[in-house]
Structure 1
Amino acid sequence: MKKLVALLVPALLLSGCAATESAPLTGYALLSQGLEASCEAFSGGDAIEQVSVEGEFGSEPTIDFPTPLVGSGIETKVFIEGDGGALVGSQRVALHFTGFNASTGEQFQGSEFGTEDYIIQDLIADSKPDFCKALTGVKVGSRVGVLLDATNAHDGAGVESLGIGAEDAILFVFDVVDAYLPKANGDSKAPEAGLPAVILAPSGQPGIQLPATDAPAEFKRSVLIEGKGEEIAIGDTVVVHYSGWTWDGTQFDSSWERGAPASFQVNSEGLIEGFVQALEGVKVGSQVVAVIPPELGYGDNAQGAIPAGSTLVFVVDVLGKE
């Protein structure tokens, strides 16, 4: 999978008619119920209305637009609306896409629609381009066009390697293939006595308060939020947000601080055994806190900012499976 270039209520029925039951929610639509948007929702514009897109979702689109096409700010239009749940921003999405220089009509990038070779994009507020603003509110399974003026596309600097000038607008057509949660989402569980207390910021980023006790000698795990997704099994590739501390309260790592979730396979070849145990059997959408003794962590070896013999504390949000 490739990273996108860094420019970048049912109607009432008449009496006597049978109502049709709606299908139960599954996947991201189920997992994301109740989440509030963290980015401003997409909006349209006069320029994007001049774009014509033909073809079914998942197939290579046929796109027509007048050149030069000049919009204002960020303009989004839904050509095919999906039913997979709305994007809320500050999350990872899987997309097929094609990109055009809106001034010249020349295509400069594109993925192979209809394949597994989609791109992964993190929707980060106020980034350039601000795909969080462009796609928040769009549903998974949708085909959309996004027109970004020169300022919002590349800050008026152009991208010489792609043949994009300083005043050129950019047009993307996206198929929103899938999405991952921005944070844990599910049913809150009572915390277990003796484990660190977890305090959450509005974004979902965790902090901890450690009990005034010695570190536990054995591995401990507690589910703080139980999601509605599939259980994680050994060998699964997962998307998670996590933060890690030593028992003295020193934070040594955090995907939240880096602004994007992490993705890795759940196995002991690539992860410490305690982290594997923290994830195995946990449902997607869940948040867990785990206390990992040295023998299931880094043992007697120092690891960067982690001293030898450290007991570790991790808070992990399971955002999805790839």
Structure 2
Amino acid sequence: MGFFEKLKNGLRKTKESMMGRIERLLHAFTKIDEDLFEELEETLILSDIGVNTSVKICDKVRDYVKQKGITDPTAIKDVLKDVIAEMLGEEQPLDLSTTPSVILVIGVNGVGKTTTIGKLANQLKNEGKRVIVAAADTFRAAAIDQLEVWTDRAGVELIKHKEGSDPAAVVFDALTAAKARQADVVICDTAGRLHNKKNLMNELEKISRIVHQQAEGCALEVLLALDATTGQNAVNQAQQFNEAANITGIILTKLDGTAKGGIVITICDDLKIPVKLVTVGEKIDDIQPFIARDFVDALFE
């Protein structure tokens, strides 16, 4: 099964919930009026698209309908598709332009951060890149053990210290190893909790300093792993993490397990942080770059 089919299957719950409501609404109206737009806005909000984003979508649809002279309510579906695709923006791939390039993965426990790192390591290795993973979430022994299982499965090297070690020291050793072995990418796991923002900022700043000292001028991605099943809570997490760290992109996990996939639209529009990767499934190859048009096609088809 190709990834588009996996994505389509993964978005089935979202499609049934969100698109089912929208289609029932559009077929219930015989003309386009303010009552329709009010109900459309409410339907989008109920589909876990935030209030601000829902209002913006309806305003854009309203303008387009007026501009094109559309009178058939069912034609709004195609307009909605184009508006959402535009809001999601263009694909923004990972910046892996230097050797080594560094990826810091942050996020609270339970979002699938560790498994996602394993999947990403496997994907990059299959693209011919030499990958080293740093087990810099040293606060949980289970995190290190779990990461070891996934890196073994992916066939990439893991740099680890004992539980309770300094995370920045693990990153230092991983970068030293990367330079010695001419690795292409270093992926760093980080503490899986949203602790005090000041502590989080200090920890990430320390790791970032080590990165720039050891790999001056390297491409650095700071990716926040978010669980799609948590809906608006994922947006709240992103807002808090973004205040503490310079997030360059989102990895949206568990997209196949939720009816709240519309949260992608809010993240891209409201937070102005690009979704760079999505996971749909539990297999090691169930991760792909986020392509807005594929997402919209899978949702609307």
Mark yes or no: TM-score above 0.5: no
Q: Which fold has the larger relative contact order, with Cα–Cα distance below 8 Å and residues 6 or more apart in sequence? A: 2
**Shorter-chain TM-score tier:** under 0.3
Q: Which has the higher helix share?
A: 2
The TM-score with structure 2 as length reference comes to 0.25
The TM-score with structure 1 as length reference comes to 0.24
Whichever of the two has the greater Rg, that structure is 1
Q: Which has the higher strand share?
A: 1
